[in-house]
Amino acid sequence: MSNDVRHLTELQVAELTTISVQTLRRWRADPTRPGPAWLKLGPFKNSRVAYPLRQLTEWLARHERQCTSQRTTS
């Protein structure tokens, strides 16, 4: 098995992005919110959540801005 990181926990995403865990959870509960793609690793309500690193990186890139008046691409 590779040592490559492929998924991050919600806490890791929160630390990386400075978006609170609560906000990430709110975004997951509401499909109209702008949050990054995520996976639920199990069938139960309290099953582990993971964020695929590739999709998170792409989501972050789509939300980069050069100035405050610039719109995001998604």
Is residue 30 one of the residues assigned to a domain?
yes
Domain membership of residue 57 (yes or no) is yes
In a domain, 72, yes or no: no
Q: Which domain holds residue 27?
A: 7-62
**C-alpha closest to that of 51 among 3, 12, 1:** 12
**Against a cut of 0.95, is the pTM above it?**
no
pLDDT for position 45: 87
**Residues comprising the chain, all counted:** 74
Asked if residue 67 belongs to a domain, the reply is: no
Give the pLDDT confidence score for residue 73 in this predicted structure: 59
Q: Is 49 domain-assigned?
A: yes
pLDDT tens, residue order, the chain (74 aa): 455 679 999 999 999 999 999 999 999 999 898 899 999 999 998 899 999 999 999 999 998 877 777 666 55
Residue 34 lies in a domain: yes
For the chain, the domain total comes to: 1
